Homo-oligomer: A and B are copies of this chain.
């Protein structure tokens, strides 16, 4: 089964287990999050779904993301300019590489930061639960386009 199909099933299953109803709108949102290779914003998701559900409300997208986030099945990437983006395909912390020109967000396949995490825990006395690592730069496309 394709990766995003599997993720879709996992998230739907988890929703069921938590007594949530499976509505068509909810399924549409989960479907996009399960793929989410492009790290869509709430508006991206809303626009995409409006093709099938012209009455889909933005509030519904927000509500469902909060819900799915609370189940640990989507990763939220917040940015200072207030355009959060989401990854429901790999909901665990992993490095992202972000183009500051075209705003593309891609995944990196770097190894884990467990060693660093342990160092930080010892150094600070924190119980570390989570982390986030982003690299910012310019992608090869945007580099080629520079005038």
Chain A residues in the interface with B (C-beta under 8 A): 76-82, 84, 95, 97, 99-100, 106, 108-110, 116-117, 119-121, 123-140, 143
7 additional A-B pairs beyond A126-B139, A130-B136, beta carbons within 8 Å, are A77-B80, A97-B124, A121-B137, A125-B140, A128-B135, A128-B137, A130-B135
Residue of B nearest to A113 (CB): B133
Query: Are A110 and B120 interface neighbours, CB within 8 A?
Result: yes
| Residue among B116, B121, B132 making CB contact with A132, cutoff 8 Å | B132
Query: Are B138 and A129 interface neighbours, CB within 8 A?
Result: yes
Majority secondary structure of chain A interface residues (helix, strand, loop or mixed): mixed
12 cross-chain CB contacts under 8 A: A76-B80, A78-B80, A97-B128, A108-B123, A109-B123, A110-B116, A120-B135, A126-B139, A127-B143, A130-B135, A130-B137, A132-B134
